[in-house]
Amino acid sequence: MKLQPWDDARQMARAAGKSDSGRAALRMMRTDAYLLILGFRLRQLVLRARIPLLNRIVRLTQIAFGGIELGNDVALGSGVYFIHSVGSVVGGTARVGDRVRFMGNNTVGTARDNGYPVIEQDVEVGCGARILGPIRVGARAVIGANAVVLSDVPPDCVAVGAPARIVQRQPAAVEPLRAAPGGSR
């Protein structure tokens, strides 16, 4: 595991819907979300170097200033974006893919100590959502606000409710705007 600050910034910019250009990445480096990920990456290096006190200090700092609890055995992909970190917990051996966006006050963990979730890349997790147990959330899925996800979510689907039910995502049927006949405004 290596510290990957530039890659995280580029991927966070991409997750935020901005280009992954250098300028967008530099803007992401000034966010609280970026500092949380950087702290997490530092903690992973410190754990591998077997410096437990420094890991604890950084972890407590993240809890105190970011309001977020990230477990020692969690794996976070590049550009994981905690838009509002306060109240969020990612614990145990949960696996989170690249460019996953957490809207805030989320829990990713276990309900019965029977395993932890795997969240694939480009997933959006709504405010207050809970993802619990040995389940898989497919790529590009959307977890609705306050959903309680206790079973697998297929890729490109939406999970809503408590307990969550799967809603197939429909392609957008948006008509392109056209200029009015006879000229423009």
Residue 44 and residue 38: Cα distance in Å, rounded? 10
Residue 22 and residue 87: Cα distance in Å, rounded? 31
Total length of the chain: 185
pTM above 0.75, yes or no: yes
pLDDT tens string 55-79: 999 999 999 998 999 999 999 999 9
Confirm if 133 and 127 have CB atoms less than 8 A apart.
no
Distances (CA, A) of 166 to 17, 27, 77, 146, 152: 25, 35, 25, 14, 9
Amino acid code (one letter) for 126: G
pLDDT at 184: 45
CA–centroid distance for 38 within its chain: 14
Confirm if 102 and 121 have CB atoms less than 8 A apart.
no
pLDDT at 136: 97
pLDDT at 169: 67
Fold of 5-168: UDP N-Acetylglucosamine Acyltransferase; domain 1 (2.160.10)
pLDDT at 8: 83
Distances (CA, A) of 51 to 56, 116, 160, 177: 9, 26, 42, 59
Rounded mean pLDDT for each run of 10 residues along the chain, 185 residues in total:
70 79 79 89 91 90 92 93 93 95 95 93 96 96 96 95 84 48 48
